[in-house]
Chain A
Amino acid sequence: MSVTVPRGTLLVEAAKLVKVEVPVFCYHHKLDPVGACRLCLVEISPGPPKPTTACTTPAAEGMVVKTDTPLAVGARADILEYELVNHPLDCPVCDKGGECPLQDYTFRHGYPTSRIDAPRLHFKKPIPLSEKIALDRERCVLCYRCTRYYDEITWSQELTTDERGVHSYITSQFDQPLKSVFSGNIIDLCPVGALTSRVWRFESRPWDMDHVPSVCSRCAVGCNVTLWKRRHQLVRVTSHENDEIDEGWICDRGRFEYTHVNSPDRLKVPLVAGAEATWEAALTALLEGVQGRKLGIFLPQDITNEELFLLRRLVDGPWQDARVALERRTLLAPPQGETLPIKDLDGCKAIVVIACDTADDVPIVNLRVKKAVSKLGAKLLVVHPGHLDLDRWPDTFHVRPNPGETAEAVRRLIGHELLQEGPVGILYGDGHGAEDVDALTQAVVDLAEAVGGRVMPLYRATNERGALGVRLAGRQEDLEGCDAVILWGPGRPPASARFVAAWDSVPRPEHEGADVVLPSATFAETQGSYTNLEGRVQFLRPVLPVTPPLREGWDVLCELGQRLGMPDMDYLGIFHVQRQASRAVELFAPLADPPAPVPNPTPVLYGPARP
């Protein structure tokens, strides 16, 4: 088989194109190659008559790569045998068992029988690396993916190797627990069961789960995730690589904050005055409660586009005077003109980050900035009063204005020597309320015009961009003075409220004493879509069924509209809502074209080894 690849493509990547499996442990397509595990040995000609690592050798014109010569096959089998010399072989209790490359490669490339008769080396295990991650040093094959990830991708060096030789082991720096918000990715990276999730620990076996690709609901970046369910429970969230957004990384909030979906406290039936009621009675009580009162509506950050569209119709119609607040929203206005897509950060020659702690607000954008800087050579300028993790790059140019003076500091950057070469990406937040946002935005726009750059407003709330698109993004303070509130999500009732309706998936202390409580579906159950901070509409795929009496938000909003006497509120289904929303709101145009349903997933047990 012959294949033509771009210059510099490594042999492992070229082999993937012709569907030849070259097993790898240390190589990962998002990390720099190191050639440590030696598992990818192949024979190349022209070249010396000895095996060469495919993960460090770029393809060359006329190069012939042989993966199936006795020398190469034997060399790879030898390495696999070595990996198993001290491996504890506790696959039955290992959370990786079933989706473990070491298992799969041993079956496909290893020796059929074992020669290993010596006693094995043992370590104390498992070791908690943090609240979320457990480390098993006996299973570790020392591929250094985790330490390299921490060095190259997150710049935080929280993991390191101690001792040497066969006694080498992975450990956190100074035995401190991992603090990085990106720590969970090392679980996905680990090719064996050495790094496992403590949240998912022993929850289920991989072959026993169904999974669907979906979108993360925790912030405005819109990372793609895979949701895994077992027995009607959401048991695991892992990354789902989308090079245009997340490049296969997700933050710990997206990975671990899903347990409320399975909570035994989940609200299942509506409550009226603390007693269980039917939806009919609850909605009646709700409508009576808000009737004739000044209405305030608090929205969760992960409200879907469809729900926003329906709510817009309600607010345009019967609830004309209602005020609306959105959880976690920034003060930023909708962007004027074209913005910088996340994937174009890779092409930037200089990146300016203004008034935003990206690691906290938009974590994966933070990793994209780090990649553009450390791997692609972009210059980095930061305008922020505090210390950020971006300062770990030695060449970061950091301007620390006093809070409130960021706009002037941004204007002073015009003509800066690091901004001479374009394209320039300008990322800006709202300084968590410390800044005059209008002045800051104007300064950013001026800077972009002066240096020929493009801007990327960094919204915080998951669907803030969608809420801005239908002008429904107020602040919690806006609800002051309302005497009837509908708290959808974790909002506080204002002091003036005389009627409180709570609508959430779990009971919250803020909702104590609500007159009406409605159960809501979570991101794992509801159909719909989110608009991320760059304006990209992405569809959720429910992994769990909505079991009655639970109802989805759009469904409840439709019924409310019908009861309030609005015309055309009897939608036939969510597709009907989506089609109408796509015509009515420019931002929601992609809703007209929802993706085809995903095919049933191949069981992991028989599937290919995950890279």
Chain B
Amino acid sequence: MAEGQSDKGGHNVIQDVAALATGMRTTLGEFFRPVVTTQYPEEKSPRSERYRGRHYLRRYENGLERCIGCELCAAACPVGCILVIAAENTEEHRVSPGERYAKVYEINMLRCIFCGYCEDACPVQAIVLGPEYEMADVTRERFVFTKEMLLEPNPAEERPLIAGFAAGEPAPTVEGPGMTDQPRPTFDHRLIDTADTVERS
């Protein structure tokens, strides 16, 4: 069938060689271009500052957790993958400033769609979505990230850093329209800001 077509078309050899040369030119041209393939996992592509990857729970500089256990992230979550169970701080056991902290904080990463609504909802900027996206694992249970896994390391304690997240080391970023290299806005937690308080007379 193919032969028959070829005969009917009446192509000559020169045309075939020219076509071959055209193809080879494209091939050779691509051969000398810079390589765009990233050697994942040895190499990683740069990510936007605003990339929404794995979540982290932040701390204050003094080591207290930012999270106040208000459950607004869970309320905002469109897929319901966040579970927060709150408890009360005591003088002996202080986890966060103020009255309330998250005793349990779990995110089901299998269900999460990384929309970032939790970050938007958080009144104290405790939960943030970080640059990490490598979360493959072998059992479903291990995708439920607990508070211990989500918390950023305590600067007051010498603890091994969580893989893929170096505290203080900015994530690689790429410049582009709509992207910014501005640092994240700092947020003063009003509950611990006592400078502007007026004592009762």
Contact = CB atoms under 8 A, between A and B. Distances in A.
Per the CB under 8 Å rule, do A and B touch in the complex? yes
Contact of B200 (A123, A126, A207): A123
Interface string B58-94: 0000000000111110110000000000111000000
B123 A92 contact: yes
A122 B198 contact: yes
Interface residues on B, range: 20 to 34
Q: How large is the interface on A (under 10, 10 to 19, 20 to 34, 35 or more residues)?
A: 20 to 34
Contact of B88 (A167, A201, A205): A201
A6 interface: no
Nearest to A137: B200
B196 interface: yes
A208 B98 contact: no
Contact of A605 (B70, B75, B87, B99): B75
A391 interface: no
Contacts of A89: 190
B200 A202 contact: no
Interface string A95-122: 0010000000000000000000001111
B197 A122 contact: yes
Contacts of B200: 121-123, 167
A119 B196 contact: yes
Given A202-B87, A202-B100, A208-B74, A92 B197 contact: no
Contact of A208 (B68, B75, B198, B201): B75
Contacts of A605: 75
Nearest to B102: A202
A90 interface: yes
Contact of A120 (B69, B123, B198): B198
B193 to A, nearest CB: 10
Contact of A122 (B70, B75, B100, B199): B199
Contacts of A93: 68-70, 98-100, 191
Given A120-B198, A121-B198, A90 B86 contact: no
Contacts of A167: 200-201
Interface in B174-201: 190-191, 196-201
B12 to A, nearest CB: 77
B124 interface: yes
A205 B68 CA distance: 13
A85 to B, nearest CB: 12
B197 A205 contact: no
A126 B74 contact: no
Nearest to A98: B75
B162 to A, nearest CB: 26
Contacts of A203: 86
B156 to A, nearest CB: 23
B197 A120 contact: yes
Contacts of B190: 89
Contacts of B68: 92-93
A606 B86 CA distance: 23
Identify which of A89, A90, A167 gathers the most chain B CB atoms within 10 Å of its CB.
A90
B70 A92 contact: yes
Q: Which of B98, B196, B200 has the most CB of A within 10 A?
A: B200
A132 to B, nearest CB: 15
Residue among A92, A119, A120, A208 with max Cβ neighbours from chain B (10 Å)? A92
B3 to A, nearest CB: 73
Counting chain A CB atoms within 10 Å of each CB, the highest count among B69, B70, B98, B199 belongs to: B70
Contacts of A201: 88
Contacts of B201: 167
A92 B72 contact: yes
A202 B199 CA distance: 27
Contacts of A121: 198, 200
Contacts of A122: 197-200
B198 A126 contact: no
A89 B68 CA distance: 14
9 tightest Cβ-Cβ pairs between the two chains A and B = A92-B70, A93-B100, A202-B86, A119-B196, A92-B123, A205-B71, A122-B197, A119-B198, A93-B68
14 contacts: A92-B72, A93-B68, A93-B70, A93-B98, A93-B191, A120-B198, A123-B200, A201-B88, A202-B87, A202-B100, A204-B71, A205-B71, A207-B75, A208-B74
Interface of A: 89-90, 92-93, 97, 119-123, 126, 167, 201-205, 207-208, 605
Interface of B: 68-72, 74-75, 86-88, 98-100, 123-124, 190-191, 196-201
